[in-house]
A = this chain, B = another copy of it.
Amino acid sequence: MRTLVNDEKKRVTIYNVAKEAGVSLATVSRVINDSDVVREDTKKKVQEAIIKLGYKPNAVAQGLALKKTTSISLVIPDSSFTYIGKVINGLLDVAKIYKYNITLHTSTSGVNEMHEIIDNVIKNRADGLILYNDAFSPQELQTLSDYHIPMVYLGTRFSNDMICSVFINYYEPVHDMVADYLNRGIEDIVIIDDRKNPSSVEQMVKATEDAFKEQGKTFDGLIRIPDSYHSSYDFLTRYFSSHKHQLIITYRDSQAIAVLNTCSENGIKIPEETELVCVKDSRYTEMVRPQISSFVTPSYDAGALAMRIMTKMLNGDKITDKEFELNTLYKPRSTTK
């Protein structure tokens, strides 16, 4: 019975090539890895045989023999694709250069699920693990490193024997921005919480608190989304129909857009009456009207850098600096004066 399954059309093996070229497998192995010195003419013979037979080295067998798979696992929170697209592109582009494969995993429930995922990573003998997440604590990361697999963490500052990190420091830029507002006498500032990005929000809050403190004031404008709202969008549209502030700071674009819409529906003029800053930039912050002021970050570079670091770790290169901070640039648009 004919099925759709790979009809066992035997793939050609290194052995076939050896025979075709009239050499031993060792020699074939040598030319495909161009290790050692193989005489020019035998090398050529082998290469011809390879082409003639359409031979493709079996990475699985190589993986077994070498005890490494040249594949690395990428774990991202599910439903974060809008943001993470560019990161992945960066990752993938440099992975391609170094001939690494990326296998994709998503996690919903934080670290618990991570152990399960790492199990999988171990089973599949991935060489390393790249973690994109904004919600892991140092302790949690520490436990992960017990697995002894090289990791790079795209999130917050952290590092140890097995883990390097790439992160964006929002502290400085937010601090400076808030300080600037305070200097101009604008003090009614609120930050919208974002449960999906706790550590970014934490930075934003800390930065704001400090800026207030430096002026002898105290900040208590963190607006939390009640657990009863599974969508922060819903909450925000409700909240802002009856509250008004001078400056609203959000992390995610969808939250900023929610604010935009609600204000507009309630006749609150942006930026005249209320200013709005969305910390995390996205395609949509500049697509909507008015365009939303935000901090532009080099997402592609973050991905590329993470992957580059990973290859270094895997090479056994000595890594002097294990924590990589990326810069962000404030881009005022139309939601601020």
Contact = CB atoms under 8 A, between A and B. Distances in A.
- Main DSSP-derived SS at the A contact region: mixed
A84 interface: yes
A53 interface: no
A81 interface: yes
Contact of A254 (B58, B82, B233, B283): B283
Instruction: Kindly name the residue among A88, A148, A284 whose own CB sees the greatest number of chain B CB atoms within 10 A.
Output: A284
A162 interface: yes
A124 to B, nearest CB: 5
A148 B56 contact: no
Contact of A125 (B5, B59, B85, B127): B59
Contacts of A125: 58-60
Given A101-B120, A148-B9, A3 B74 contact: no
- Of the four ranges (under 10, 10 to 19, 20 to 34, 35 or more), the interface on chain A belongs to 35 or more
Interface stretch (A220-228, A269-277, A314-322): A314-322
Contacts of A258: 287
Nearest to A82: B82
A189 interface: no
A63 interface: yes
A211 to B, nearest CB: 30
A82 B85 contact: yes
B103 A101 contact: yes
A64 interface: yes
A131 to B, nearest CB: 15
A1 B149 CA distance: 18
A60 B64 contact: yes
Nearest to A265: B289
A60 B56 contact: no
Given A6-B148, A289-B264, A103 B106 contact: no
A257 B282 CA distance: 14
A313 to B, nearest CB: 4
Contact of A3 (B3, B82, B119, B316): B316
Interface string A1-41: 11111110101000000000000000000000000000000
A4 B59 contact: no
A200 interface: no
A61 interface: yes
Contacts of A7: 148
Contacts of A82: 81-82, 85, 283
B85 A316 contact: no
A232 interface: no
Contacts of A2: 161
A149 B86 CA distance: 29
A121 to B, nearest CB: 10
21 contacts: A5-B313, A5-B315, A6-B148, A11-B122, A56-B123, A58-B123, A59-B124, A60-B124, A61-B64, A71-B103, A80-B85, A81-B85, A88-B104, A89-B106, A92-B104, A92-B105, A92-B106, A101-B124, A104-B104, A261-B289, A264-B289
- Going nearest first, the 6 A-B pairs with the smallest beta carbon separation are A81-B85, A3-B316, A81-B81, A4-B313, A5-B316, A60-B63
